[in-house]
């Protein structure tokens, strides 16, 4: 019985860790003006990214990332997310698949007011 309780508690802790604990080594970027080697991956929902689109970004919502992550390739990637949950989940998944994440930006973060060129 004790082993079952330990297993359940460890699974819950692992679940909470992967969703809510920030990923180490990935910094918030203040501008999305990048060169051609860096790809911008927008993991927000289609509705959010449609109303607040970013030019040159590849839009793959977090729900479709497992199916379409190969479209990003093996280049350097900057993640655009609407909240910390999307950011953490996408960075952990893409790192597991061998992608090089160099930064992220949140759309509701105050540190990146100049997020870059947008298409209305």
**Count: domains in the chain:** 1
- CATH number for the domain spanning 105: value is 3.40.250.10
Long-range Cβ pairs for the range 94-98 (8 Å, 24+): 94/41, 94/65, 94/69, 95/23, 97/69, 98/74
Per 3-state DSSP, the chain is made up of helix, strand and coil in percentages (nearest 5) of 40, 20, 40
Residue 82 tokens, joined: 């609407």
pTM over 0.85: no
User: Which tens digits make up the pLDDT trace of 45-92?
Assistant: 999 888 888 888 999 999 999 999 888 887 889 999 999 999 999 999
The residue among 94 and 108 whose pLDDT is bigger is 94
| Boundaries of domain holding 78 | 2-119
Question: Helix axis angle, 84-96 relative to 2-20, nearest 10°?
Answer: 100
């Amino acid at each position: 019985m004790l082993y079952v309780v330990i297993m359940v508690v460890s699974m819950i802790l692992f679940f909470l860790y992967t969703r809510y604990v920030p990923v180490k080594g990935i910094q918030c970027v203040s501008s999305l003006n990048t060169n051609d080697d860096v790809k911008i991956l927008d993991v927000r929902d289609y509705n959010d990214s449609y109303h607040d689109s970013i030019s040159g970004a590849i839009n793959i919502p977090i729900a479709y990332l497992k199916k379409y992550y190969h479209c990003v390739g093996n280049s350097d990637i900057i993640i655009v997310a609407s909240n910390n949950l999307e950011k953490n989940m996408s960075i952990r998944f893409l790192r597991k698949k061998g992608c090089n994440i160099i930064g992220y930006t949140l759309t509701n973060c105050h540190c990146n007011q100049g997020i870059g060129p947008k298409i209305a």
